[in-house]
């Protein structure tokens, strides 16, 4: 082993003499040989001169593993010294392990030292790195890479590729994070060292490992350098990222950044011009994640982005848009799609189940029973219409739907292909389908939807309209429609609404669509159970005059025996309610959860505010908001988001700060307003308006609520609007306390986003 005395002896001699004589050279060589003897542990013990030692080392060159062991000891000594040891000379030859030439063009300007046996230390390290990579030893490979970079800079590009590939294939998050750090340093210092394929592979691995923050960082670095992955690979990365809520946030922000700047990138003729091949599936993945995690505002931004860059929507897209519009209460926006969807072929009907679900739900929220009734008739009529055309197919046809304004010349235009359905779909659209269900490929109403219809008709005293709706459905002739009418009559009987059930039976009979005998017998039994003998006798007379087939031997038909039915009536009533009680159960549940008039008015006012703000009619929107306050109707997240969107589009940032006061007061009493969408939109607008005190306030609130903050996005917004703000002004230069506070808030923000 190399002893400290020998090293000190060599160092002292170097310091004492600036030029060596021939005799000093010989003494130094002898000293060096003695060091080499201990270092090689007897392998070159018989070598008495430098020439013999070099001859022995030439043998080791033939054995790759032996030279790696020798080099490792020399490298440790080199790293532990603050200067190059005296026994390392200048480079005299280049060692080529395995026949591979290592390029030194990417290394730093520092000259590699040469060991006494003729091998330069950088070559030894490169050989060790290659051996570790060949054996898939990540620990040794990483340590060797770090040591080499600290001494000589980046190694050969081929080895960088191999190391990054090994790190990317690892399932350990520790190695994936090291790969991210490695990529960051390479892109800053030696961009030419790394290939787009390697970065794409790393992003995909990070996405699979559920590390969306790191994956987004690499994607954004690629975006800055103009080397984005191919659109299909970008879709795979996004597919893995959107499985988490943080991944959804980052994916939507990245999509907005990439596609929002695609025209600028195209004009520069960079490698990002491939983004002109817009992929509907990519937008569907992000939209679906926004709907799944309840980020309706993000979803709305993605929809508007699709109109701006010309991405066409297919059947899946429309279904996801339905969910987002339902969350935002945008019934008028959703109704614009209906005329196009009603024309699709029979094979695609079931794929629009979510659309009809969302639209019917919005009709109920707005207390629009007429619109709900028309939609129900369309759903059942849709079956018959397309049953006749089931073998007919229509070629895909491009349609245009206005987003925001109804004026296609002024508003945004969304291209849709309602007949198109991507076969490469990797997700299932629809999670809240409780009103419209799919039975044997046909869309029908659920018992919950029927319960809402019955309650609203009954509440408004429009039983005759309910009968007309049932008659219209009954005439469709399907098994589902007949069963639905019987269920409604049975549910009304179970609820004790006997007159309503009687009216429905009469209306169906007069329209030529009478129900079966069991419905009449159930009503007759109910009359007897409730001691309504006069109504029972009237129903019997009506049955005798009509063509309804009844059982003449039934004791219920004998007027004298009606009073005798009181004893066994309860059991028979319970039997009827058990058999037909599911609809009655939903009626009871819906009556308990029925929304009040204030809730219906709130949806109407929110819709008005949205319309006024889209039309830039700010005064009318504020008037509707004040009306809501006067009626003591609690504003919702949609209320504030509609107002904020309108103010933001007009650059009215001061009004947003005033509205922030109302939002905070409502948040104190109702926690459901503290949503990430609302906080993020406020933060972006405060940042654009330069209200940094509010910016730091919102950041603090988001941290308290455990919400993820995308610093990259906020840093980008700051550089866009306030790049040179207060860079040359110190706190001592401020003229008043307000300016001092502003400078401090700006500095805090810059430090938070990593600019300082």
DSSP 8-state secondary structure symbol assigned to residue 337: T
| Widest CA span in the chain | 144
Do 372 and 363 touch, CB atoms closer than 8 A?
A: yes
**pLDDT value of residue 285:** 93
At CA 583, angle to CA 581 and CA 585, rounded to 5?
65
Do 164 and 194 touch, CB atoms closer than 8 A?
A: yes
Residue, of 593 and 653, whose pLDDT is higher: 653
Do 310 and 415 touch, CB atoms closer than 8 A?
A: yes
User: Distance (Å, rounded) from C-alpha 282 to C-alpha 303?
Assistant: 12
Residue, of 205 and 550, whose pLDDT is higher: 205
In the predicted structure, residue 345 carries a pLDDT above the cut 90:
no
User: Distance (Å, rounded) from C-alpha 411 to C-alpha 390?
Assistant: 36
Tally of CB atoms within 10 A around 19? 5
**What are the CA-CA distances from residue 483 to residues 89, 447, 478, 489, 582 (Å)?**
97, 12, 9, 10, 13
Q: Pairing relation of β-strands 436-439 and 442-445?
A: antiparallel
Q: Phi-psi bin for 439: left (phi > 0), alpha (psi -120 to 50), beta? A: beta
> Collapsing DSSP states into helix, strand and coil, what is residue 252?
helix
Per-domain residue ranges of the chain: 276-386+396-423, 446-561+577-593, 603-753
In the predicted structure, residue 612 carries a pLDDT above the cut 80:
yes
Maximum average pLDDT range among 8-17, 248-257, 308-317, 578-587: 248-257
Of 99-108, 269-278, 395-404, 715-724, least confident by mean pLDDT is 99-108
Do 648 and 675 touch, CB atoms closer than 8 A?
A: no
Do 643 and 621 touch, CB atoms closer than 8 A?
A: yes
Residue, of 597 and 470, whose pLDDT is higher: 470
**What are the CA-CA distances from residue 507 to residues 291, 370, 472, 512, 548 (Å)?**
43, 19, 11, 9, 14
In the predicted structure, residue 638 carries a pLDDT above the cut 80:
yes
Could you tell me the pLDDT band of residue 15, with boundaries at 50, 70 and 90? very low
User: Distance (Å, rounded) from C-alpha 540 to C-alpha 481?
Assistant: 26
Could you tell me the pLDDT band of residue 202, with boundaries at 50, 70 and 90? very high
Residue, of 501 and 72, whose pLDDT is higher: 501
Do 86 and 27 touch, CB atoms closer than 8 A?
A: no
The token pair that represents 388 in the structure block: 């006749």
User: Distance (Å, rounded) from C-alpha 130 to C-alpha 386?
Assistant: 67
| 86-94 contact pairs (CB < 8 A, 24+) | 86/10, 86/11, 86/13, 86/14, 87/10, 87/32, 87/35, 87/116, 88/113, 88/114, 88/115, 88/116, 88/121, 89/113, 89/114, 89/116, 90/114, 91/120, 92/118, 93/118, 93/119, 93/120, 94/120, 94/123
Could you tell me the pLDDT band of residue 33, with boundaries at 50, 70 and 90? very low
**pLDDT value of residue 509:** 84
**pLDDT value of residue 380:** 85
Of 348-352, 438-442, 474-478, 699-703, least confident by mean pLDDT is 474-478
User: Distance (Å, rounded) from C-alpha 211 to C-alpha 496?
Assistant: 58
Section 700-724 average pLDDT: 93
Reference 602, options 332, 365, 297; nearest CA is: 365
**pLDDT value of residue 424:** 55
In the predicted structure, residue 483 carries a pLDDT above the cut 70:
yes
In the predicted structure, residue 508 carries a pLDDT above the cut 50:
yes
Of 28-37, 213-222, 259-268, 581-590, least confident by mean pLDDT is 28-37
In the predicted structure, residue 288 carries a pLDDT above the cut 90:
yes
- The torsion of the CA quartet 368, 372, 374, 380, rounded to 10 degrees, works out to 180
**pLDDT value of residue 369:** 94
Three state DSSP letters for 164-209: HHHHHHCCCHHHHHHHHHHHHHHHHHCHHHCCHHHHHHHHHHHHHC
User: Distance (Å, rounded) from C-alpha 266 to C-alpha 275?
Assistant: 8
In the predicted structure, residue 1 carries a pLDDT above the cut 90:
no
Maximum average pLDDT range among 105-119, 260-274, 496-510: 496-510
Of 72-76, 331-335, 727-731, least confident by mean pLDDT is 72-76
Residue, of 222 and 658, whose pLDDT is higher: 658
The number of CA neighbours under 13 Å toward the Cβ of 235 is: 16
**pLDDT value of residue 363:** 96
Do 689 and 232 touch, CB atoms closer than 8 A?
A: no
Could you tell me the pLDDT band of residue 270, with boundaries at 50, 70 and 90? very low
Question: Which residues are CB-contacts of 461 (< 8 A; sequence separation ≥ 6)?
Answer: none
Tally of CB atoms within 10 A around 698? 22
In the predicted structure, residue 490 carries a pLDDT above the cut 60:
yes
Section 472-500 average pLDDT: 83
In the predicted structure, residue 42 carries a pLDDT above the cut 70:
no
User: Distance (Å, rounded) from C-alpha 36 to C-alpha 616?
Assistant: 85
User: Distance (Å, rounded) from C-alpha 464 to C-alpha 493?
Assistant: 17
At CA 559, angle to CA 558 and CA 564, rounded to 5?
85
Do 502 and 523 touch, CB atoms closer than 8 A?
A: yes
Maximum average pLDDT range among 20-29, 105-114, 711-720: 711-720
**What are the CA-CA distances from residue 488 to residues 315, 435, 443, 498, 586 (Å)?**
33, 16, 18, 12, 12
The token pair that represents 372 in the structure block: 């709900």
In 421-568, alpha helices (H) = 447-459, 463-474, 479-494, 498-510, 517-529, 533-545
Please say whether the structural domain 603-753 has been given the CATH code 1.10.287.
Answer: no
In the predicted structure, residue 451 carries a pLDDT above the cut 80:
yes
- Rounded (10°) angle between helices 463-474 and 369-388: 10
User: Distance (Å, rounded) from C-alpha 686 to C-alpha 692?
Assistant: 7
Reference 424, options 230, 232, 688, 653; nearest CA is: 232
Mean pLDDT of the chain: 77
> Following DSSP, what letter does each residue of 655-674 receive, concatenated?
HHHHHHHHHHHHHHH-GGG-
- Rounded (10°) angle between helices 245-260 and 231-241: 150
**What are the CA-CA distances from residue 168 to residues 198, 209, 241 (Å)?**
9, 10, 16
Task: Let me know if 605 is exposed, middle or buried by CB neighbors in 10 A (0-12, 13-18, 19+).
Answer: buried
Section 74-89 average pLDDT: 32
In the predicted structure, residue 81 carries a pLDDT above the cut 90:
no
Residue, of 550 and 376, whose pLDDT is higher: 376
Of 122-126, 473-477, 626-630, least confident by mean pLDDT is 473-477
Residue, of 148 and 580, whose pLDDT is higher: 148
For 426, phi and psi rounded to 5 degrees? -115, 15
Do 511 and 471 touch, CB atoms closer than 8 A?
A: yes
At CA 66, angle to CA 60 and CA 68, rounded to 5?
110
Section 517-534 average pLDDT: 87
**pLDDT value of residue 734:** 73
For 414, phi and psi rounded to 5 degrees? -105, 125
The number of CA neighbours under 13 Å toward the Cβ of 458 is: 21
Section 615-626 average pLDDT: 94
Reference 302, options 287, 322, 285, 280; nearest CA is: 287
User: Distance (Å, rounded) from C-alpha 473 to C-alpha 382?
Assistant: 11
For 431, phi and psi rounded to 5 degrees? -130, -15
């Amino acid at each position: 082993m190399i002893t400290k005395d020998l090293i000190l002896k060599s160092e002292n001699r170097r310091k004492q003499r600036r030029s060596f004589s021939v005799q000093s050279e010989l003494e130094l060589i002898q000293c060096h040989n003695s060091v080499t003897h201990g270092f090689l542990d007897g392998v070159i013990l018989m070598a008495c001169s430098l020439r013999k030692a070099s001859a022995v080392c030439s043998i080791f060159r033939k054995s790759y593993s032996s030279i790696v062991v020798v080099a490792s000891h020399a490298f440790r000594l080199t790293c532990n010294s603050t200067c190059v040891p005296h026994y390392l000379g200048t480079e005299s030859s280049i060692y080529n392990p395995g026949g591979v030439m290592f390029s030194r063009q990417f290394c730093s300007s520092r000259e590699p030292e040469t060991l006494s046996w003729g091998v330069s230390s950088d070559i030894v390290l490169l050989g060790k790195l290659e051996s570790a990579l060949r054996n898939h030893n990540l620990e040794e490979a990483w340590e060797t890479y770090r040591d080499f970079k600290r001494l000589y800079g980046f190694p050969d590009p081929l080895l960088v590729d191999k190391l990054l590939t090994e790190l990317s294939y690892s399932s350990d998050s520790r190695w994936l994070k090291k790969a991210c750090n490695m990529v960051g340093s390479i892109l800053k210092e030696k961009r030419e060292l790394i290939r787009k394929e390697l970065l794409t592979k790393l992003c995909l691995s990070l996405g699979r490992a559920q590390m969306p923050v790191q994956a987004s960082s690499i994607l954004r670095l690629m975006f800055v350098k103009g080397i984005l992955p191919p659109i299909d690979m970008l879709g795979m990365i996004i597919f893995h990222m959107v499985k988490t809520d943080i991944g959804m946030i980052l994916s939507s922000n990245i999509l907005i950044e990439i596609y929002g700047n695609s025209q600028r990138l195209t004009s520069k003729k960079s490698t990002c011009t491939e983004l002109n091949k817009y992929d509907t599936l990519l937008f569907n993945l992000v939209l679906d994640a926004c709907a799944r995690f309840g980020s309706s505002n993000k979803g709305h931004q993605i929809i508007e982005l699709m109109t701006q860059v010309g991405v066409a929507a297919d059947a899946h897209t429309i279904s996801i848009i339905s969910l987002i519009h339902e969350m935002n209460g945008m019934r008028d926006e959703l109704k614009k799609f209906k005329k196009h969807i009603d024309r699709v072929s029979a094979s695609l009907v079931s794929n629009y189940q979510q659309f009809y679900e969302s639209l019917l739900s919005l009709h109920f929220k707005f207390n629009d029973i007429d619109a709900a009734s028309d939609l129900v008739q369309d759903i059942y009529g849709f079956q018959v219409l397309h049953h006749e055309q089931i073998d007919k197919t229509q070629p895909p046809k491009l349609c245009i739907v206005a987003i925001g304004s109804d004026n296609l010349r002024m508003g945004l235009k969304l291209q849709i292909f309602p007949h198109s359905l991507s076969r490469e779909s990797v997700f299932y659209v629809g999670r809240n389908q409780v009103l419209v269900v799919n039975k044997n490929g046909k869309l029908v109403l659920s018992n919950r939807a029927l319960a809402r219809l019955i309650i609203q008709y009954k509440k408004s005293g429009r039983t005759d309209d309910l009968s007309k709706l049932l008659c219209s459905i009954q005439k469709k002739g399907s098994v589902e429609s007949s069963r639905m009418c019987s269920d409604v009559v049975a549910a009304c009987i179970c609820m004790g609404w006997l007159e309503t059930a009687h009216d429905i039976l009469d209306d169906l009979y007069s329209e030529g669509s009478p129900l079966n005998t069991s419905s009449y017998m159930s009503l007759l039994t109910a009359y007897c159970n409730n001691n309504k003998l006069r109504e029972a006798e009237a129903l019997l007379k009506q049955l005798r005059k009509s063509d309804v087939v009844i059982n003449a031997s039934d004791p219920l038909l004998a007027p004298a025996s009606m009073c005798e039915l009181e004893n066994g009536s309860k059991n028979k009533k319970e039997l009827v309610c058990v058999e037909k009680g599911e609809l009655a159960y939903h009626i009871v549940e819906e009556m308990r959860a029925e929304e009040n008039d204030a809730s219906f008015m709130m949806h109407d006012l929110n819709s008005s505010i949205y319309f006024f703000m889209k039309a830039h009619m700010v005064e009318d929107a504020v008037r509707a908001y004040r009306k809501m306050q006067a009626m003591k109707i609690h504003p919702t997240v949609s209320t504030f988001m509609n107002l904020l969107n309108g103010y933001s589009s007009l650059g009215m940032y001061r009004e947003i700060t005033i509205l922030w006061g109302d939002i905070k007061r409502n948040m104190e009493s109702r926690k459901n307003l503290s949503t990430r969408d609302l906080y993020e939109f406020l933060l972006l607008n405060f940042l654009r308006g330069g209200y940094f005190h509010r910016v730091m306030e919102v950041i603090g609130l988001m941290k308290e609520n455990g919400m993820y903050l995308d610093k990259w996005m906020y840093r980008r917004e700051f550089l866009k609007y306030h790049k040179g703000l207060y860079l040359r002004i110190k706190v001592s230069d401020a003229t008043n306390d307000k300016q001092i506070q502003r400078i401090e808030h700006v500095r805090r923000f810059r430090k938070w986003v990593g600019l300082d």
